Amino acid sequence: MQFHRTDLGEGMLLAFRMPDSPFVKAVFRLRGLAPRAEYEIEDSDTGMTFRRSGWSMMERGHEIEMEHAPESCRVFHRRES
């Protein structure tokens, strides 16, 4: 699920891996971002941050890997000024 506040230029991606899911990785294409803007991306589990363009997040997507099932992951995105 993606939650995005266009007025604030930020949001989050919330992903779940269900108990019986055979999938370890998935690519999620975000929506509603500004293609030419840069976004700071933060993985809430690892605390790692990096920058990507809105275009990249919408066209190429963001890959999430979850080793365990069940498991969840939150990834925050914030538009850079």
* Count: domains in the chain: 1
What CATH number is given to the structural domain containing 19?
A: 2.60.40.1180
pTM of the predicted model over 0.85: yes
Residues 6+ apart with CB under 8 A from 50: 40, 41
Torsion of CA 32, 38, 40, 43, to 10 degrees: 60
Structure tokens at 75: 């990834």
pLDDT digits (tens, 9 = 90+) for 8-38: 999 999 999 999 999 999 999 999 999 999 9
Instruction: Give the pLDDT of residue 33.
Output: 96
Structural domain of 8: 2-79
